[in-house]
Copies of this chain bind each other. A is one copy, B any other.
Amino acid sequence: MDDIEVEVLADPELTEPVFIEGLPGVGHVGKLAVEHLLEEFESRVVRRVYATEFPPQVTIEDGVAELASAEIHAVSVPATATDGEGEDGDGVDLLVLTGDHQAQTNAGHYRLTEAFLDLAEEFGVRQVFALGGVPTGELVEEPSVLGAVSAAEHVEPLEEAGIEFREDEPAGGVVGVSGLMLGLGGRRGFDVACLMGETSGYLVDPKSAQAVLVALEEILGFEVSFESLEERAEEMEEVVGKIQEMQNQQGSVPTDDDLRYIG
């Protein structure tokens, strides 16, 4: 196997596809968001990316092993009735990148991101959205969506869609594949935006994922049902409620151990 190996599974004709990245990260916001898109719309895997940068690991489903990989799905999103911003009113084509792993080394993040951008280029992608979460350190009732872009000209249209741009936020910048999508993608001429839902950073956060998808709906002009995501959000709220109850009884604030990535 080469350090990075791309398996071709399908080569559908796509119309100006928009690339959406949702690898694991803070609050699993990006991953939850893209998985919701894959559940709600018709899709198929078009590329699978294997890499020696992923953990040396297989997942097992029904006894059958699958090698650690990232997958790119082609998704056909129908246009909304009232809003025809998608190409020729036929909806919008997405290329959705997801997977269970980030790279395991610094240089690996760079190489994987370049591989993903190569594939985006191959499909004629111009516009890239990296979805993720931005940690606030506390539970957020109404998560805002923060933006970061590859070039200043993209700020205004996103602000119109409700994305917030705050001075020097996120303070630590953006790391991992999402960060490099902005950094490397921008240098290669893609129009890249990172949409980050506010999230505590302690919990898998379907509500924040929904906020990110609502923003994406607004930008790309489509509509998706949030029923299943709202159910998961309610489940999480019950979990949070129980934790808060326990804390009230103990008279103590939650520790990182109580809250870290329950989901």
A interface list, Cβ under 8 A from B: 1, 3, 52-68, 103-107, 109-111, 113-114, 147-152, 155, 165, 167-170, 172-177, 179-180, 182-184, 186-187, 192, 194
Contact = CB atoms under 8 A, between A and B. Distances in A.
B66 A183 contact: yes
Contacts of A176: 56
A107 B165 CA distance: 38
A152 B62 contact: yes
Contact of A59 (B53, B62, B65, B173): B173
A67 B180 CA distance: 7
A179 B63 contact: no
Contacts of A173: 57-60, 65
Task: Give me the 4 closest cross-chain CB pairs, A-B, nearest first.
Answer: A67-B183, A56-B109, A63-B165, A65-B182
Contact of A110 (B52, B106, B147, B177): B52
B110 A63 contact: no
Given A62-B167, A180-B58, A110 B1 contact: yes
Contacts of A165: 62-63
Given A56-B175, A65-B173, 12 more contacts: A52-B111, A53-B106, A54-B106, A56-B106, A57-B175, A57-B179, A57-B183, A58-B179, A60-B174, A65-B179, A67-B184, A104-B106
12 contacts: A52-B106, A55-B175, A57-B174, A57-B175, A60-B169, A62-B155, A63-B155, A64-B149, A64-B150, A65-B183, A66-B183, A67-B186
A144 to B, nearest CB: 14
A106 B170 CA distance: 29
A168 B60 contact: yes
Contacts of A148: 58, 60, 63-65
Given A1-B184, A174-B58, A179-B57, A149 B67 contact: no
A58 B152 contact: no
Contact of A150 (B65, B170, B182, B184): B65
